[in-house]
Structure 1
Amino acid sequence: MKKILIVEDQQDIRELIRMTLEIEDYEVHEAPQGDIALQMIGRINPDVMLLDVMMPGGIDGFEVCRRVKADARFKRTKVVMLSARGSSADRDTGKRAGAADYLVKPFSPRQLLQVIDRVS
């Protein structure tokens, strides 16, 4: 069973993503912001991290991605950025940070599952 960490500050979006993933039998973990995700990742060691770009707490998704990808323990963890910001500059920033993919909100459950299948 693949483990997925959802890092999203909006609870309703986290819940929708969680429900979509649980139906597909993923092991789902949640964090409401980046600093909490960085504390959790060592315990969870997820296969995929779904990571919002804009979050409170002083650390955005790009920085969380950089830190995760810089840590050799999480070499196999795939990061998918989630954002309402869909410009090519934002996508490039995500790619440079180490993201495997970038999904623009709003997205459908089917799109989400396709991206997870593609990266994992």
Structure 2
Amino acid sequence: MKIKKKILVIEDEPHISKLVKVILEKAGFDVLQAFVGREGLEMAKKEIPNLIILDVMMPSMDGFEVARRLAQMKETKHIPIIMLSSAAQFKHKMMGIESGAVDYITKPFDNDELIAKVEEYVK
């Protein structure tokens, strides 16, 4: 039996988090959810997912800071991060990559693109 890859979605908007969860579960992934940065950090350290999908604009701790902290923790620094944000400007994409993300997807996103990128990084 094939073991499902575990994806952690850190997204403060419940409807977007649920949408991403449904899309990825239909594609065969096991999906965990966190709704604020601190919760996401704790869950990443405890669960050690195969990949993290991280929103940029969240209350109290933005996605850039969460990514930087994940990159500094020995338990999580190896986990690929895909940023997911409505901030589509080039500077935001560069900030995402500089803070440790391997990729950056803008909202609204294409379901097939999301699945393809997740599959690319969890091989």
Q: Please state which band the TM-score falls in when normalised by the shorter chain.
A: over 0.9
In the TM superposition, residue 89 of structure 1 has moved relative to its aligned partner by 0.5
Misfit runs of 4+, over 3 Å:
none
Partner of 1:36: 39
- Number of residues of Structure 1 aligned to a counterpart in Structure 2: 119
In the TM superposition, residue 3 of structure 1 has moved relative to its aligned partner by 0.6
Please report the RMSD computed on the Cα atoms of aligned residues, expressed in angstroms: 0.9
**Residue 7 of structure 2 aligns to which amino acid in structure 1?**
I
Specify the SS of the correspondent of 1:72.
coil
Specify the SS of the correspondent of 1:19.
helix
Picking from 23, 47, 51, the partner of 1:48 is 51
Partner of 2:27: 24
Q: Distance in 2 between matches of 1:88 and 1:5?
A: 25
The structure where helix makes up a greater share of residues is 1
Partner of 1:116: 118
Q: Deviations over 1:3-33 (max 9, x none)?
A: 1000111111111110011111211100011
- Structure 1: which 5+ runs fail to align? none
Q: How does 1:1-120 map to 2 (within 5 A)?
A: 1-56=4-59, 58-120=60-122
- Structure 2: which 5+ runs fail to align? none
Q: Distance in 2 between matches of 1:43 and 1:23?
A: 24
Identity of aligned residues (%): 35
Q: TM-score scaled to structure 2, two decimals?
A: 0.93
